[in-house]
Amino acid sequence: MCDKENIVHYLHGELPALQRKEMESHLQTCDSCREELNAALKLWDMFEELPIEPPSANMEADFRRMLNGFKYEERRNSTGFWKQLISFRLHWSYSVAMLAIGLLNGYLIQSQGKNKDIRDQFAALSDEVKGMRQTVVLSLLQNPAATERIKAVAYTEQVNSSDKKVMDALLTTLNNDPNINVRLVTLDALVVFAEDPYVREGLVRSITQQESPLVQSALADAMVKLKEQRALQIWKKQLSEPELDQSVREKIRTSMQAIQQTSI
Amino acid sequence: MLAVKTGELDKLTGLFDRYHPALYRFFFYHIRQQQMAEDCTQNVFYRVLKYRHSYKPQRSVKAWLYQIARNVLNDELKQQRKHRYDHDSSIPDDRQSSATADGKLKEKERLRLLEEALGQLAPADRDILILSRYQQLRYHEIAEILQLSEAAVKVRVHRAFRQLQSFYSKKGAL
């Protein structure tokens, strides 16, 4: 019995074994179906010959670029999110902790230190806040936004100069931050801690690290303020460098005079 | 694919190596332009990354890829509304010389007619023939891609092939 509908499925190899056998034996005897099969086969085979332009050699490289780009974006987004979350949480917990300290402090003043337990708790909480403050500063100093880094520097007003981690972070910021405003703010913050020999030395060393005339001038002012003799040697060397900015050269000269006068 | 889904994005390279030639052909047969076919193929893998969380492990990766590929194709064709399948035939027009042509030219002419006949098919018919004949997918795979029953795929394949034969023979008679 003719079943022309199945011819295309036969060509596709989609006929179940039994039907395929039936079809094959039918084709032996049916001219009409054989003709139909041959016509279909002709077109069928032509499909294979349809020309196809092969993909360019760039395709694999493009794929790898796309994959790397995607991975980079994904990483950036996720760290961005976590950084934001951490930053938000730090700000939040910092505020809560400060409030708690304030309340506790008030309470302690009221009770005039009668309760030793509370005093201990206060000390513990105070340590915690110090740690938190340090974390806030260190985290914010890494923030890609200059405004956030400036905020971090502002937080350091409440940090102790004995906090070496924060001081190191500030000195690194002073020497390496790409933003001039951040460097200037950091310099101001560090001058506050200049009583500390470590910070003071860091400031002196920073003279040779600065390239911006603005920061160089501000640093010169800081040296005058601190009456820092060690700056004189460094400046003498700098004045012998022909590429030194003219305005900075002048500033250094007047600063040197100012320091020498105060030392007399 | 499961590894990709769980974040091992580099594992996508394996999928790309395995499937990109077939996907490229799928796009090329539809749109007949190398650059566009390449872009669409890249787009499939980009969407795999982007929507990797929606992949269900019980599904065939191949079917999922083709489903994405069909979506990419539809979006591309929507964007290029003016595009017509038969506008950019990859076979040079030898009809002028075909009267005196040798067997090779006649062969080219036949392929041109086939391309034109394919271009005349309804998109759904062309789609199913490309999947079944060019991509050599099994009916059950096509059923999964198109979310049809296998019986429906059988009917459609038969109908599309019949239609193609009819267009082709009409053109051949001209």
- In chain A, domain spans: 4-48, 79-142
**CA A12/CA B156 separation, integer angstroms:** 13
What are the residues whose beta carbons fall under 8 Å from the beta carbon of A13, sequence distance 6 or more?
none
Does the beta carbon of A50 lie under 8 angstroms from any beta carbon of chain B? Answer: yes
Residue ranges of chain B assigned to CATH 1.10.1740.10: 1-83
**CA B97/CA B171 separation, integer angstroms:** 17
Task: Judge: A14–B154 Cβ closer than 8 Å, yes or no.
Answer: yes
More confident of the two residues B142 and B9: B142
**CA B18/CA B142 separation, integer angstroms:** 19
Range with the lowest mean pLDDT among A153-162, B12-21, B149-158? A153-162
C-alpha distance from residue A234 to each of A22, A26, A215, A237 (Å): 101, 104, 16, 5
Facing B28 at nearest CB: one of A12, A53, A70: A53
- Ramachandran assignment for A227, one of left (phi > 0), alpha (psi -120 to 50 degrees), beta (any other): left
Pick from B82, B79, B85: which is nearest to B27 by CA?
A: B85
Cα atoms in the Cβ-side hemisphere of radius 13 Å centred on A25:
6
**CA A203/CA A55 separation, integer angstroms:** 60
Considering the domain B102-174 in this protein, what is its CATH number? 1.10.10.10
Q: Which residue has the tokens 């269900």?
A: B56
Percent share of chain B, pLDDT over 70: 81
Per-residue pLDDT of chain A (264 residues; tens, 9 = 90+): 677 788 888 888 888 888 889 888 888 888 888 888 888 888 888 887 888 888 888 788 888 877 877 777 777 666 555 555 665 565 566 667 777 777 776 766 666 555 666 667 666 766 666 666 677 777 777 766 677 778 778 777 767 766 788 888 889 889 988 888 888 888 988 988 888 889 999 999 999 888 888 889 999 999 999 999 999 999 999 998 888 888 889 999 999 999 988 766
Q: Which residue has the tokens 């603005």?
A: A214
**CA B43/CA B38 separation, integer angstroms:** 9
A65 CA to centre of own chain: 22
Task: Judge: B139–A12 Cβ closer than 8 Å, yes or no.
Answer: yes
**CA A141/CA A135 separation, integer angstroms:** 10
**CA B151/CA B60 separation, integer angstroms:** 19
Structure tokens at A48: 């294979």
Contact A136, A152 (CB under 8 A): yes
Predicted-complex ipTM score: 0.73
Question: Which chain A residue lies closest to B25 (C-alpha atoms)?
Answer: A52
Contact A187, A174 (CB under 8 A): yes
**CA A159/CA A99 separation, integer angstroms:** 17
Q: In this predicted structure, what is the pLDDT of residue B102?
A: 59
Q: In this predicted structure, what is the pLDDT of residue B94?
A: 45
Residue ranges of chain B assigned to CATH 1.10.10.10: 102-174
Task: Judge: A8–B158 Cβ closer than 8 Å, yes or no.
Answer: yes
- CA B149 to chain A, closest CA, distance in angstroms equals 14
Q: What is the pTM of this model?
A: 0.50
Say whether domain B1-83 belongs to CATH 1.10.8.640. no
More confident of the two residues B86 and A117: A117
Task: Judge: B91–A51 Cβ closer than 8 Å, yes or no.
Answer: yes
Alpha helices in B32-90 (DSSP H): 34-50, 61-79
Kindly list the residues from chain B whose CB atom is less than 8 angstroms away from the CB atom of residue A51.
Answer: 90-91, 111
Contact A102, A158 (CB under 8 A): no
For chain B, give the mean pLDDT.
80
What is the separation, in whole angstroms, between the first and last Cα of chain A? 124
| 3-class SS of residue A244 | coil
